[in-house]
Amino acid sequence: MKVEQLSIFLENRAGRLSEVTGTLAQAGINIRALSLADTSDFGILRLIVTDHAKAKEALKANGFTVGRTSVVPVEVRDEPGGLDAILKILSNNGINVEYMYAFVQQSDQNAVLIFRFDRTDQAIETLQAHGIRVLKGDELYHI
C-alpha cells in the first residue's frame, strides 16, 4: 500500500538536476515518477524509481542528501470528477494532503496519483473503505 519515495535536496543552480538524472542513468535506474518543489534558494526532487536501494546508494555516493518517505499510489478514474471524489473523501475525514503528483503511466484505464498524507495509515484505510484502489509497490513498479 505504501511505497517508498526518494527525496533529494538540490541547491538552485544550473546543471544540478542533470547531475541527479546522470547518476541514475549510469546506475541503470529508471525513473517512474517525479515532482520538483522549489523555493528561491533550493528545491526538493521527489522520485519513484525501479530500484530504491540502488538509487539511494548511487546518489549518496555522489554527495547528494537523500531522504526516504512513504507515499501512497492511488488509482483515480480518468474522467471529470475523478480526483475530486477522492479529495472529498479525504477532506470529509480530516486527512491532509501534504503534496501529490501524477504517475507517468496509467493502470488499466485509470490514472495513478502519488499522495503524501499527514496520516498515511488512516488515509489508506479510509480510501479503501470507500472503494478506492490503492496500489501495492509491486503493482506500481510493474505497470
Partner 1 sequence: MFYDEEYETLPREDLKKLQFTRLQDLVQRIYNNVPFYRARFDELNVKPENLHSLADLKHLPFTEKQDLRNHFPYGLLALPRENVVRIHASSGTTGKSTVVGYSRRDVKNWARLMARSLAAAGVTPRDTVHNAYGYGLFTGGLGVHYGVEEMGATILPISGGGTKRQAMLLKDFGPTVLTCTPSYALHLYEVARESGIRFEELGIHTGIFGAEPWSDEMRLDIEAKLGLKALNIYGLSEIMGPGVGQECAVAHEGIHIWEDHFLIEIIDPISRENVPPGETGELVITTLTKEAQPLIRYRTRDLVSLRPEPCACGRTHTRISRILGRSDDMLIIRGVNVFPSQIEGLLVETEGLTPHYQLILRREKAMDTLEIQVEVDECLFSDEIKHLQRLEQKIKKNIKEFLGVTAMIKLVEPQTLARSEGKAQRIRDLRN
Q: Which of 3, 7, 23, 127 binds partner 1 (CB under 8 A)?
A: 7
Cβ 69 to partner 1 shortest distance, Å? 5
Question: Which triple of cell numbers denotes residue 131?
Answer: 472503494
Cβ distance to partner 1 smaller for residue 38 or 79: 38
Cβ 40 to partner 1 shortest distance, Å? 10
Longest dimension (CA), the chain: 46
Question: Which triple of cell numbers denotes residue 4?
Answer: 517508498
Does residue 69 touch partner 1 according to CB under 8 A? yes
State which of positions 84-123 bind partner 1 (CB under 8 A): 98-99, 116
Cβ 81 to partner 1 shortest distance, Å? 28
Q: In 111-143, which positions are buried (b, 16+ CB within 10 angstroms) versus exposed (e)?
A: bbbbbbbeebeebbebbeeeebbbbeeeebbee
Does residue 64 touch partner 1 according to CB under 8 A? yes
> What is the rounded CA–CA span in Å between residue 21 and residue 134?
28
